[in-house]
Amino acid sequence: MPEGPEIRRAADRLHGQLAGRQLESVWFAFPELVAEAGSLVGRKIVAVDSWGKALLIRFEHGRVLYSHNQLYGVWKLHDEEREPDTKRSLRVRLTAEGRSASLYSASDVSLWEVDRLGEHPFLSRLGPDLLTHGVTQVQLVTRLLESSFHRRGLGGLLLDQAFLAGIGNYLRSEILFFAGLSYTARPRELTGEALNRLAHAILRVTRQAYEQAGVTNRSEWAILARRQGESPRLCRFAVFERDGLPCHACGSVIERVVVASRRLYRCPGCQPY
């Protein structure tokens, strides 16, 4: 499933396609939304952003279209007169000044007043989004030490969307590696230096994944790995999916373990228990 950086990049593409343009047609497959389509025609889309793995299309009159791609949903961008070549089921289509965005295969779509988004059953349970809500390193350290989170092992905590929205499996492994921390460590046990190192890694790795389309590895490590014959996919990461291979930093063999029912990759040399 795509993680926060991938959803944010999708939001950026949708924003570029539709933002600032007046809607000419709106189509919904969902019966509860069909009657709302006409109320959106003639309105402008003012912004498209993301919150964790949810995508939010904001209209000029204070309404917001929420969608969650789940496992199979995908937005496709196209000209109005050109249908995307797909066998997926169309769920939503928005057309503005000749440009269209079509959502396929998703089932979690709803329309909200902006001042009621806090009541959304999914969004109301989410922590802040690192790429949308301007979270700082100081704020992250404070959050790590909150009573709801400070006793929990990092391996489970980083996947908890109530802690931070958008971190998934590959980001978790990469963040812990670059922070030099074990998945068993708990925030309350960490020194101030380690907390700041973790907060910095959370922000930096997530931002790099967003800017480089999912790449979290250091460029010099990736270049060397490619010269040594590693696949392009493996070169994207420092530890994720690299079990059995040597660590880029210290040469120890990368391990694969299961934490919170999800696979996690770690370097026993760089991330001692």
CATH of the domain at 244: 1.10.8.50
> Which pLDDT score is estimated for 192?
97
Q: How confident is the model at residue 2 (pLDDT cuts 50, 70, 90)?
A: confident
> Could you tell me if 220 and 241 lie in one domain?
yes
pTM of the predicted structure, to 2 decimals: 0.94
Buried b / exposed e along 94-125 (16+ C-beta atoms within 10 A): bbbeebbbbbbbbeebbbbeeeeeeebebbee
Last residue of a domain, one of 100, 125, 150: 125
- 238 located within any domain: yes
Active site annotation includes 128: no
Distance (Å, whole) CA 200 – CA 194: 10
Q: For position 70, what pLDDT does the model report?
A: 85
- Does 1 have pLDDT greater than 80? no
* Secondary structure tally for the chain: helices H, strands E: 9, 10
pLDDT digits (tens, 9 = 90+) for 110-162: 999 999 999 999 999 999 999 999 999 999 999 999 999 999 999 999 999 99
Residue 121 a catalytic site member: no
Residue-wise pLDDT for 176-214, tens only, equals 999 999 999 999 999 999 999 999 999 999 999 999 999
Among residues 43, 262, 263, 268, which one is catalytic?
262
Examine the domain organization and report whether 115 and 65 are in the same domain. yes
Q: Is pLDDT above 80 for 27?
A: yes
Q: Which domain holds residue 108?
A: 4-125
Active-site residue among 53, 91, 172, 242? 53
* Token pair recorded at residue 202: 């959370």
What is the average per-residue pLDDT within 36-56? 96
Of 180, 221, 222, the C-alpha closest to 200 is 180
In this structure, is residue 271 part of a structural domain?
Answer: no
Given this model, what pLDDT does residue 230 score? 93
pLDDT at 62: 94
Which of the following is catalytic: 2, 63, 88, 152? 2
Q: Is 87 a catalytic residue?
A: no
Residue 132 included in any domain: no
Residue 84 falls in the annotated catalytic set:
no
Q: Which pLDDT tens digit goes with each residue over 57-106?
A: 999 999 999 999 888 899 999 999 999 999 999 999 999 999 999 999 99
